[in-house]
Amino acid sequence: MMQVNTLIDQVIFAWQQLQQKSPLVQCITNKVASNYSANVLLACGASPAMIDNPYEAESFTRITNALNINLGTPSSEQMQAMKISAATAHQKNIPWVLDPVGYSPILKWRSDMVDTLLTFLPSVIRGNASEILTLAGESIPSKGVDSTLDSKDVYPKATALLKYSPCIAISGASDFILSQETDQVIEIKGGSALQPKITATGCALGALIAAYCAVAPIHIATIAAHVHFAIAGKLAYESAPTLGQFNVAFIDELFTLNAEKIKQHIDIQIH
């Protein structure tokens, strides 16, 4: 049974390891998110590499510390690279994160690729409530790639996905983390309502989860990445409550996170 105080210590240690090791994270992500995800990883202490060409995918994945795959705006070449890199990561035991953006019957081409990628057993599946519930087999109304559901209503049904991955992360007003490691569900509060109004924050969170997975156990890494985002969002909003200023302040807060801020501002519950 996980205890909150122990979990906080593990999150702090994971953050310290991220700063010390600066893991190389390969991101096959969408064109909207590529620059922002790279800047988020740099701000948090990781080293991004946006290698998404199928001719380079296998050789590069072999030298990465973690892989992030995001299906936001997939091109044909990106799709080939995703399959190659996921297979390589699975073969080489490199942690990798799957972000099934837009998974739905409407976007069948990408959704079929997600189904293929699941056979390579991602370390973490992360998404918004609608994506996760659809991936778990529930038919729901769609609003493009935005969630139409609340994460707290979805996590009980998301346990079905644990057969594909040791960790499931559902983002929303509260984030919920499910893991094969425990029957307990971790709820992470914080952040700001402005985060979804900035393009690619969710995509960048997937990349940060991958970075943490390179330096910590999968479930702790996933929790730590969400805590990092939640605290940064909360503090950024306190100093910069308008959207443009918040965007800059959020990156600054990601960069200036430290152990004391984690202890002071972490808002975590175990269910």
Take residue 81 and report the two structure tokens written for it.
């690279």
What is the residue-wise DSSP string for 202-243? HHHHHHHHHHHHTTS-HHHHHHHHHHHHHHHHHHHHHH--SH
- 175-179 and 182-188 strand pairing: antiparallel
200 among annotated binding-site residues: yes
171 among annotated binding-site residues: yes
Instruction: List alpha helices for the chain, DSSP H.
Output: 4-21, 34-44, 54-61, 76-92, 108-118, 129-135, 151-158, 201-213, 218-239, 243-256, 259-265
50 among annotated binding-site residues: yes
3-state secondary structure of 119: coil
Question: Annotated binding residues for substrate, as ranges?
Answer: 50, 200
Question: Annotated binding residues, as ranges?
Answer: 50, 126, 171, 200
Question: Annotated binding residues for ATP, as ranges?
Answer: 126, 171
